[in-house]
Amino acid sequence: MNPFNPQKKRGSWTQDGLSKAVDAVRLGNLSVNAASKRYVVPRRTLRRYLSNNQDVKSKLGCKATLKTEEERELSRRIIRLANVGYPLTSKMLKLNVFKYCRENGITHRFTKETAGRYWLNNFLARNPEISKRKAQRLNPARAQKLNKFIVGDHFEKLQNVLAENKFLNFPEKIFNMDEKGCRLQLHKDPEVLAKKGSKRVHIVAKERGESVTVVACGNATGNVIPPMILFPGLRKNPAWEKNLPTGSTTIMTRKGSMTTESFVSFLNHFSRFKPSGPCLLIFDGAKSHLDYSICEVAEQNEIILYCLPSNTTHELQPLDKGCFRSFEIFWDQHTLLYFNMHKEQQDISKLNFADVFTPTWEKSMTQANMKSGFKATGIFPFNPFVIPEEAFAPSIATELPPPNTKMADETVTAYALQEQHNSNDDHSLAGPSGLQTNVSQLGSRHSTSSSSDSDITGDLAQPSSSSDYSDSLHIPESTANLSRRGSIGEMLPTPKKKRKTTRVMKPAINNRGVVLNKSLFEDNKDVKLDSSKNSGNSKKYNTKSVRQITASKKSESWYCAICCNDEVKDMRLCGVCEIYVHEECVGLTKDDKEFFICPKCLL
């Protein structure tokens, strides 16, 4: 019994005392009884360590199901799968461990078709680097586009823009703008106090509220210009502008979201607060940001437009990294504070929007937050290596080998052989997120895999040549090595996302980072039809001009090539000449789904 803790009957000795007792008996300095009394170690425990020549390490409880090396490899695979965006849940981990033990003949004490919760708790205690976390959803497009090639190309172009305009040492001329959708309600359900064990705890608030778009902008020195707020609707109430931050402006849009016209208005608003001379404005590639008219206004106000690569703003947008997360937190805090002060009014409307927005804006859009956003994205101070390696890991699952190389041919052959080998197996093991891995790859319990370790660490870095591309992709082994089985790394491989289609599509303007100018939109400008060439009921049209108008916005022109009238009616596109006609003019209805050819093309 432990003299310091009488309630503790097991494991009362210390690791240091056990080591000294064993050394004293082995050297012959003390007997077993004398060493037991001096170092407070039970005689039977001391004799067991002496007779079995065990390692001097005190350990209580039953023997672990998996060996130490296997648990280390399992923990590495868990971390690896979490890095690439396919984390294991507790249930899937227990299921995989049970099947691994069953297929390899490992003695276990699992009573069901899965490992128990006690095993999971002990596994987490033995491997403190693994913990339960709440996963955040990552769009597959974001996981694919944020890779080293796209990011490297972005920093190269950004550096050229900063160097050409001499902005590298002038952070006051580097700005970032972004929209923030602000719902007129709580963004997240708050933690509240209630009776212990309560099944239903509610907070009275609207489930769905209106959305107001807040356009924020600031530079690398931390200075923030007044916001522009987009309210949904057609008519503006002057009372909505009361108590807003000084210098703010409000605009009405149909849905309260950014449009091309409102973005032009923002550029005019931005030009009133920017320093004199050229300035760089960095923003994302939303559809409303890409238009010829925007480039014209920017050129008039000496604004250089730089568009970030698509689906990378969660790591490359300063406002997303520095300010908007705290904006949501402070918004919920001030919303609850407003509810507490106005118990008779438990909702946020456009009339009292400023009472919650203004203090939220002042606390979140601070100079420190803005500067940290530019620093975290590597814009200022300019640092192209600021993005951590873990951020590129989700793109590994969609990497492809370099085309037209010997390595590409070998990769395809290896994958084909692996698929043929897997098709002959009758059993499969459920992997993360519904993926299937093969139980037939499980072999001897004591076999090790050198490739699994290389997959854990090697493929975090994108290869610089095709020679080391196979290590980064963790390509299945050749036919000579396909028979080797039994590794935990093979039980939980890094998933490879298959391409759904091989169709080649035209890349978007902001597929990579790009400096916007008018030359990019020359082909998309609206071309007005020359009415002077039209005569009688049969008017001549430029097919290219009509195609450009209809492709940009069908609602801008409802001209029918049959009746020669511009009326708002249901229209149909000719599959040959791509000219719109009214459905009633050609005797069609909404239910007609067949391929349409206009009468002119039929003649």
Q: Provide the phi-psi class of 521: left if phi over 0, else alpha when psi is between -120 and 50, else beta.
A: alpha
* pLDDT band at residue 509 under the 50/70/90 scheme: confident
Span 141-147, average pLDDT: 89
Share of the chain above pLDDT 70, in %: 74
Query: CA–CA separation, 21 vs 58, rounded Å?
Result: 13
- pLDDT score recorded for residue 408: 42
For residues 301 and 275, the answer to whether their CB atoms sit within 8 Å is: no
Residue range 447-459: mean pLDDT, rounded: 36
What pLDDT, on a 0 to 100 scale, did the predictor assign at position 175?
Answer: 98
pLDDT for position 498? 58
Q: Which of 288-292, 317-321, 391-395, 433-437 has the lowest mean pLDDT?
A: 433-437
Q: What is the pLDDT of residue 187?
A: 82
Highest average pLDDT, of 66-75, 471-480, 513-522, comes from: 66-75
Predicted TM-score (pTM) of this structure: 0.67
Domains located in the chain, CATH noted: 1-61 (1.10.10), 148-191+206-392 (3.30.420.10), 526-602 (3.30.40.10)
Q: Is the pLDDT score of 87 beyond 70?
A: yes
Lowest mean pLDDT segment, chosen from 339-348, 550-559, 569-578: 550-559
> Are 560 and 581 in contact, with CB atoms under 8 Å apart?
yes
Which pLDDT belongs to residue 438?
31
- Please compute the mean of the pLDDT values over residues 503-511 and round it to a whole number: 71
Q: What percentage of residues in the chain have a pLDDT greater than 90?
A: 44
Between CA 433 and CA 83 the distance in angstroms is 14
494 pLDDT band, cuts 50/70/90, is confident
Q: Summarize pLDDT for 13-63 with one digit per residue, the tens.
A: 788 888 889 889 989 899 999 999 999 888 888 888 888 765 666 566 678
**How much is the pLDDT for 7?**
55
Answer for the pair 260, 296: CB distance below 8 angstroms, yes or no: no
Amino acid at 309: P
Give me the mean pLDDT over the 548-567 stretch. Answer: 61
pLDDT of res. 489: 74
For residue 506, give every residue at least 6 positions away whose Cβ sits within 8 Å of its Cβ, in sequence order, or none. none
> What is the structure's pLDDT at 190?
84
Q: Which residues contact 368 (CB under 8 A, 6 or more apart)?
A: 222
List the structure tokens of 168. 């590298």
- In angstroms, the CA 32 to CA 45 distance is 10
Average pLDDT of the residues in 266-288: 95
Is 500 a residue whose pLDDT tops 80? no
Most confident of 183-187, 411-415, 418-422: 183-187
- Mean pLDDT in residue range 90-112: 91
For the chain, what is the mean pLDDT? 78
Q: Decide: 597 and 578 in contact? Cβ < 8 Å.
A: no
Confidence of residue 506 (pLDDT cuts 50, 70, 90): low
Task: Give strand ranges (E) for 543-594.
Answer: 571-573, 580-582
pLDDT of res. 523: 64
Q: Is the pLDDT of residue 429 over 80?
A: no
Segment 389-401 mean pLDDT:
79
| CB contact at 8 A, 103 and 439 | yes
Regarding predicted confidence, which is higher, 549 or 394? 394
Give the mean model confidence (pLDDT) for residues 244-271.
95
Amino acid at 456: I
Helix (H) or strand (E) holding 268: helix 260-271
pLDDT tops 80 at residue 223: yes
User: How far apart are alpha carbons 356 and 332 in whole angstroms?
Assistant: 9
Instruction: Taking residues 468-477, report their average pLDDT.
Output: 34
CA distance 296 to 298: 5
pLDDT digits (tens, 9 = 90+) for 350-385: 999 999 999 999 999 999 999 999 999 999 999 999
Model pLDDT, residue 567: 77
